[in-house]
Structure 1
């Protein structure tokens, strides 16, 4: 065997390691999530959800409730459990590297490679796959990745162990080490198991109509102030300029503005989760630098959806009654345009309430009115389309909302 082949492999591992030393990961302490019943804070609810009677009633619009539940649960997983799940993946793959290094150190002039060494590494690889899967699935699929990396090398190691070819056996060990090192780097993990942007099943659940054409902002402020973007990653073509996002998703100032628009829609009693979502068109790459989007995600003029989860459908129904009593309604209608609405489209409350000031130019001396849409689905209250413009004065306001889970 030519020694230069092994030297090239070793040099490749060194280059890969050097290129990743300057990538700093962000760690998040695994403290319990604060109670988020007041805006971005931790004040306890005014009444105790435990006082609710047993409620087996799923509430209205069970299919929409199930879709919303999946979105809220997945978002909370990213906010709370994702950091520790990634740590588990790193530890599992690091243990494979340690096992490879241990086998390598045991081979010298007096010790020949053995089949049991290959079996030891196979066990280490499959154990890592199981640990990674337990931590990351069903949000991501790491088991096949880790098993494939293992299966690529174990047959070769076994073959040359049986032939007592220590030189070739050690070379394959180095190949296996490099293979596992590559899937442990921050850059690889950040792309393969990404939460900024999110582009796993949560994106599909948010916008089942067009996941490749939509950019969503998510914020769950009651869970470690979590916020992020969700969209399909861009291919890095050399002849195009990609969009640049200069601010975080749904920062606190924008959330406060949305809360002011919502007014009495915000009902904290018995609320167990709060989620802000905006749905906008995904900006396209441009052929010229000056034509590429650059700015905060809020400049994309997305349509907001505000989600409140309660301890039961009955509790959500009570909160809906409180909202309706604090404002006015004018019938019900689907939130999607007539041309997009199906025969069984859900009709939302056309709801409006008066606010202290006004969002209209030069009219802040008079009380303003916020117009929007409101709906209960199971244990959730959903609100969207709130604006100082009346419903009939803003046709086609929905934008990409027609592709979102609430519009399909």
Structure 2
């Protein structure tokens, strides 16, 4: 393998892309055959690298590749990580705060007389507990915005009628407040309205590119490898059933093991803090006459994880660690012998890589984006022989902004 190709892979993008040179895009057309000779060394799959090679190529520092992809990937991985590790504690905090607000309402309801000063204290308590909910969930969910409007409504009404001395109306509104708070503090509320299975929050907006298309929704299947958390992520029409029963785990344990084996040559443990798997599928429609008002979301009940539409993401402690990881991974795989230019998906730059897996050659796309290494499109079909490949990728964060 020539040094210029190895260096290009080590940096995550080719030098031509970093300096404004030409970038090739897959069109499904087969280019002219390369000269005889194996330009890139194919390597057998082995355990992921944990130590630094004796000799590591050095290169002149270059701009970080794919800044938009780095930003979007960081947001998506961060959201999946939060859902996997912090969501349960956030629910507990929110429920405790709302139950404290409910108890304050119950205590005031049992008073023989409700004074104006007491209603004002209640209003302050409601605001304080909404702030606790905000600290627990923002910016992952916007529950605090709804609660703030509702609490201001309840609090203002109670205070207004207390000022008028209308005790019956005050108690009636307190009953409504208590009932509402019991509802939003219940387990069922979080399971149905703020679930992490399926995910329907900002993570979906980070994962897709462009606007939501009701008649062709995207289904994401995510797995936080570190914790084993997996979930579907999608947007639905308001009238569609939620959660939509897809009949199987989002990314099963067996699929996870298989994917980690498949991507073994590109896995580098040193400096890595997170591994994330994101598979994606375009929703099937019921036919050409489907309209947005129909409740169908996805046409399949068993969305198996396809390697060609799966992104494996490694997140590192620093950009420097990710750069070293790209160099180590690049030393184990071959690069595209048909041309020097990398591949453009949307406005992100990817390198073509190949290696031997289970006796067959696997072709994939690999890149670095800030602190992240990403690989996608892994299949036994050569890059130049794929027709229409990347159309679904173009609708995801992998294509950038």
TM-score by length of 2: 0.75
Q: Report the Cα offset of residue 402 of structure 1.
A: 0.8
Alignment counterpart, residue 334 of structure 1, candidates 343, 346, 370 = 343
Moved more, 394-403 or 270-279: 394-403
For structure 1, which runs of at least 5 residues remain unmatched after alignment? 1-42, 48-55, 358-366
What is the 5 A alignment of 1:183-332? 183-212=184-213, 213-222=217-226, 224-236=227-239, 244-284=245-285, 293-298=299-304, 303-330=309-336, 331-332=340-341
Contact 2:353 2:363 in 1 (8 A): yes
Structure 1 residue 388 corresponds to structure 2 residue 380: yes
Q: How large is the Cα RMSD of the aligned pairs? A: 3.0
In the alignment, the residues of structure 2 paired with residue 378 and residue 241 of structure 1 have an alpha-carbon distance, to the nearest angstrom, of 35
Structure 1 residue 80 corresponds to structure 2 residue 89: no
Distance 1:75-1:292 versus aligned 2 partners, 3 A rule: closer
Partner of 2:76: 71
Q: Deviations over 1:2-26 (max 9, x none)?
A: xxxxxxxxxxxxxxxxxxxxxxxxx
Moved more, 261-270 or 95-104: 261-270
Contact 2:277 2:310 in 1 (8 A): yes
Partner of 1:22: none
Distance 1:302-1:105 versus aligned 2 partners, 3 A rule: farther
Contact 2:342 2:352 in 1 (8 A): yes
Contact 2:278 2:312 in 1 (8 A): yes
In the alignment, the residues of structure 1 paired with residue 174 and residue 102 of structure 2 have an alpha-carbon distance, to the nearest angstrom, of 10
Distance 1:44-1:85 versus aligned 2 partners, 3 A rule: farther
Partner of 1:4: none
Alignment counterpart, residue 375 of structure 1, candidates 341, 364, 367 = 367
In the alignment, the residues of structure 1 paired with residue 298 and residue 356 of structure 2 have an alpha-carbon distance, to the nearest angstrom, of 39
In the alignment, the residues of structure 1 paired with residue 297 and residue 230 of structure 2 have an alpha-carbon distance, to the nearest angstrom, of 27
In the alignment, the residues of structure 2 paired with residue 244 and residue 142 of structure 1 have an alpha-carbon distance, to the nearest angstrom, of 24
Higher relative contact order (CA 8 A, sep 6+): 2
State the secondary structure of the residue aligned to 2:398: coil
Contact 2:360 2:380 in 1 (8 A): yes
In the alignment, the residues of structure 1 paired with residue 67 and residue 158 of structure 2 have an alpha-carbon distance, to the nearest angstrom, of 54
List structure 1 runs of 4+ shifted beyond 6 angstroms. Answer: 285-292, 299-302
Q: Report the Cα offset of residue 242 of structure 1.
A: 9.2
Q: Deviations over 1:80-109 (max 9, x none)?
A: 1111111111111111110111111122xx
Q: Report the Cα offset of residue 243 of structure 1.
A: 5.4
State the secondary structure of the residue aligned to 2:110: helix
Q: Report the Cα offset of residue 264 of structure 1.
A: 0.4
Distance 1:44-1:384 versus aligned 2 partners, 3 A rule: closer
Contact 1:157 1:169 in 2 (8 A): yes
Structure 1 residue 163 corresponds to structure 2 residue 164: yes
In the alignment, the residues of structure 2 paired with residue 63 and residue 290 of structure 1 have an alpha-carbon distance, to the nearest angstrom, of 33
State the secondary structure of the residue aligned to 2:196: coil
For structure 2, which runs of at least 5 residues remain unmatched after alignment? 1-47, 53-60
In the alignment, the residues of structure 2 paired with residue 289 and residue 159 of structure 1 have an alpha-carbon distance, to the nearest angstrom, of 43
Q: Report the Cα offset of residue 289 of structure 1.
A: 11
Contact 1:126 1:150 in 2 (8 A): yes
Partner of 1:59: 64
In the alignment, the residues of structure 1 paired with residue 153 and residue 117 of structure 2 have an alpha-carbon distance, to the nearest angstrom, of 17
How many residues matched? 334
Moved more, 324-333 or 383-392: 324-333
Partner of 1:135: 136
State the secondary structure of the residue aligned to 2:232: strand
Distance 1:300-1:170 versus aligned 2 partners, 3 A rule: farther
Q: Deviations over 1:292-312 (max 9, x none)?
A: 735233268871011111222
